[in-house]
Amino acid sequence: MTADNEKKGASRRAFLKGAVAAGGAVAGAGMARAAGPDPLITEVQEWASGLGEGVDATPYGMPIRFEGDVIRRNVEWLTADTISSINFTPIHALDGTITPQGCAFERHHSGAIELKKDDYRLMINGLVDKPLVFTYEDLERFPRENHVYFCECAANTGMEWAGAQLNGAQFTHGMIHNMEYSGVSLRTLLTEAGLEAAGDLSDKWVYVEGADASSNGRSIPMDKALDDVLIAFKANGEALRKEHGYPVRLVVPGWEGNMWIKWLRRIEVTNQAVESREETSKYTDTLADGTSRKWTWVMDAKSVVTSPSPQSPIKHGPGPLVITGLAWSGHGAITRVDVSTDGGKNWQQARLAAEGQSKALSRFYLEIEWDGKEMLLQSRAHDETGYVQPTKNALRDVRGENSIYHNNCIQTWWVKENGEAENVEVS
């Protein structure tokens, strides 16, 4: 149906300009075809000739069956067991910035537990004036905040250290989601417990742990704990899903997802980092010489083209093409994204759909006239600190190839003439 509209070399922008300036004939120049005989247009369609489904059918709606492939996916060989594994966000199929909870990546260390609000308790203890235990209803009585933040696993894109591996943005970059959280500031609860007993706060920490068997404990410096950390109970307006830590999780804006403790049960004020398993043998970055970078909490600026990409090929011929993707930074707002179609030789500035928000996903678009030739598609994020997302090799020069975590390199998709795309590396 669209074949005769895809005249090679016809530029939509040029067409628009011509139409506005001269009001001339425009047949066949755009992407749509002229209205005319089409069984879909001239006959009463099946869906317009009867009644649809009533409102009682959908007390809680699910995606339509035609979108059955827009789901989280795990990678069987990646972990020993699905109990301690990852389910990736289908970012290749999403647009905008909000991630619905239903398809937002999940990562657990001992499985997603089911914990009732009535059974829920949160203890604050350690170097506080008064150790306290909060019920869920107690938490609802403190002043609440709302913020949109991204949550990215430290291991997102981690397979890329060893070269182009998993084929698809969902798998290379899908350990990320972006939601509007409602909850209570951790600062509020720490103040409630009292921090006089802790003395000088500048060298104090909080140790946070979950109610699941792994407990997944992590140490957080007090200045971050008193800054923007949230005790969240809603995401995108509704209760956290079981797999996202129902009923309460920690939100640690801009910092690696492993610290966003789910099923949060305890916060201990300490005078040093606990150096738990999750921050020593795991979630530290092994360098080329075998030593490790310590305390690499912040997720550096990063971006990825989500479409076209291996799971979202170009399905049309040459002509107008929308390139789109996501960019984010744990250091603040995204200020600019560049896109290259030739593997980083030349760059064009993409359009941000909205002004960058601190520690939240930004959506970018670049509209091009695709000539039908192969492309080496890349994106490059800039954040408010002036930091620019590095190439994979620049990152390897500094960090070696032994790491799993904190790979924020520029990603390359080889888009072929037939519109299909592959994960590749450029030298």
Work out whether 229 is an interface residue with a second copy (CB under 8 A). Answer: no
Residue span 368-407 as binding mask against a second copy, x where in contact by CB under 8 A, dash where not: ----------------------------------------
Choice from 60, 80, 202, 290 touching a second copy (CB under 8 A):
60
CB contact at 8 A, 408 and 254: no
Work out whether 156 is an interface residue with a second copy (CB under 8 A). Answer: no
What are the residues whose beta carbons fall under 8 Å from the beta carbon of 216, sequence distance 6 or more? 109, 209, 210, 258, 261, 262, 278
Choice from 93, 225, 301, 375 touching a second copy (CB under 8 A):
93
Piece of 82-90, 273-281, 391-399, 405-413 that binds a second copy (CB under 8 A): 82-90
Choice from 10, 111, 372, 396 touching a second copy (CB under 8 A):
111
For the segment 177-196, give every residue that binds a second copy (CB under 8 A): 180-182, 191-192, 194, 196
Which residue has 């920690």 as its token pair? 250
Q: Between residues 135 and 286, which has the closer beta carbon with respect to a second copy?
A: 135
CB contact at 8 A, 363 and 324: yes
Which residue has 């509704």 as its token pair? 238
Work out whether 211 is an interface residue with a second copy (CB under 8 A). Answer: yes
Closest C-alpha to 89, from 66, 67, 73 = 73
CB contact at 8 A, 107 and 152: no
Choice from 242, 282, 293, 336 touching a second copy (CB under 8 A):
242
Work out whether 37 is an interface residue with a second copy (CB under 8 A). Answer: no
Q: Between residues 95 and 425, which has the closer beta carbon with respect to a second copy?
A: 95
Work out whether 73 is an interface residue with a second copy (CB under 8 A). Answer: yes
Choice from 10, 129, 336, 347 touching a second copy (CB under 8 A):
129
Piece of 52-60, 223-231, 296-304, 380-388 that binds a second copy (CB under 8 A): 52-60
What are the residues whose beta carbons fall under 8 Å from the beta carbon of 264, sequence distance 6 or more? 122, 208, 209, 210, 211, 231, 245, 248, 249, 250
| CA-to-CA separations, 112 to 87, 212, 285, in angstroms, rounded | 12, 8, 26
Shortest distance, position 17 Cβ to a second copy, whole Å: 10
Q: Alpha-carbon distance 286 to 84, whole Å? A: 21
Shortest distance, position 383 Cβ to a second copy, whole Å: 20
Shortest distance, position 234 Cβ to a second copy, whole Å: 4
Shortest distance, position 306 Cβ to a second copy, whole Å: 11
Q: CB burial class (10 A; 0-12, 13-18, 19+) of residue 202?
A: exposed
Enter the DSSP assignment of 173.
H
Work out whether 130 is an interface residue with a second copy (CB under 8 A). Answer: yes
Q: Between residues 233 and 260, which has the closer beta carbon with respect to a second copy?
A: 233
Q: What's the length of the chain?
A: 427
| CA-to-CA separations, 236 to 62, 147, 232, 251, 277, in angstroms, rounded | 16, 10, 11, 13, 31
Work out whether 3 is an interface residue with a second copy (CB under 8 A). Answer: no
CB contact at 8 A, 175 and 107: yes
Enter the DSSP assignment of 312.
B
Number of residues that bind a second copy (CB under 8 A): 134
